[in-house]
Structures are given as C-alpha cells and as structure tokens.
Amino acid sequence: MNLKFLGDGILNKPSNKVDITQIKKTSFIENLEILRKHLHMHNGSGIAAPQIGWDMKVILLGIDANYTYDTNTIGKFCLKTFGDTILELRYWLNPEIIFTSDEQVYCWEGCLSIPNKYGWIKRPETVIVKGWDENGIQLTKTYSGITSRLVQHEIDHINGQLFVDRVACDKFIVPDEAFDDPNFIFPSKGTCQTKFGELSPIE
C-alpha cells in the first residue's frame, strides 16, 4: 500500500464501514500496522485508511513517544503544532462526530496527501466522537482545540473530503515556503497573525 495523493479517486469518496465482527482477522490487523507505519514514515500526526488505498472507515491519530520525527515539511508542521505534547496513538474504527460546538475557529491545516500546501480552515472548536477501537471496544471522546481539528480532518478523509474542499476560496491555500518568506502577503488578518498549531477566532 502506497500513500495516495490529490487526484486519486479513493480520496474523494466515502469509505466502506468496518464490520466490527471481522476486526480480529489477520488481514485487518496487518492493515492497521501498515497504517501506523505510514504515519511514522511520513512524519504525520494523523492518517486515514483511504490515504493508503485501504477503503475502510479507519483513522489513526497520535504522536508516538517512541518515534523520532523528521524535520521535513510534514514533520515540521507536526512538531510546530504539537511541540512537546505526546498525543496518545489511537485507532478509531467507524468514527462519527455526534456533537459540534457552536464556537468556530480557524487554523492552518496540512495533509500528507496534499504535500507542501496549507489551507486556512474554519471548524468547530470542540467535537464529541463516537466509534470503536481496534479491539472492538466502543468509545466516546471529547476533543477540543488543536486535537479537535486533527480528528475532524481525519474523519473528513473517510467521508471523501479534503481540506481543499473546505477553504472559503483558493486564496486561502498557500505554499509551504510562504511561512518562511517575510515578504509573502497572506490573504487575511487571521492568516498573517496565526502560527502553526494556533487557533484564531477571525478569518
């Protein structure tokens, strides 16, 4: 399984629901491990099954305390976003958002499947997610702040949406090098004032 990029059809369609009675099968367990290896290989903090061509509603979130992240583009984003925070690795099977807060915030988002570009995206500040873990245990968890942003981004993937589908317009998609260019003109007040991993109440 290889990482899929913008333009691959599997990224633009809803994934198949996981049959929880089948999760102990060797093939399923092997695919979970492949997903984890891709998360590490590409220095990410989240990844969804369709990003590696696996047509299932499975996502993986987390910063692994036992893994050294590279300082390439995605690794840099990951480190700037979460800093020294160790975000527990967690698989979600068939995750769905059952609550969204009225409060909406903006943040820069990147994606393994859309390298070297970032989007200025508005999302709920807090969500509650329901689903199952890799052992078939049903979970309900509240995410707020930047981790809420992460889980919403990955759930979008299994529903066939990318961050480029959520920007207000194309001017809110910028290249990676913009953040190191003091002369780059950002498209709004919020975008020029907000660093990686920060949330903004204004566009």
Give the residue numbers marked as catalytic. 154
Q: Are 116 and 134 in contact (CB under 8 A)?
A: no
Long-range Cβ contact pairs of 63-67 (< 8 A, separation 24 or more): 63/87, 63/89, 64/39, 64/40, 64/89, 67/40
Cβ neighbours for 79, distance < 8 A, ≥ 6 positions apart: 69, 71
Provide DSSP, 25-81.
SHHHHHHHHHHHHHHHHTT-SEEEGGGGT--BSEEEE---TT-PPP-SHHHHHHHHH
Give CA torsion, residues 186, 203, 47, 130, to 10 deg.
180
Token look-up 């059952």 returns 98
Tell me the C-alpha distance between 29 and 36, whole Å: 11
Token look-up 């919403």 returns 152
Number of alpha carbons in the 13 Å side-chain half-sphere of residue 26: 0
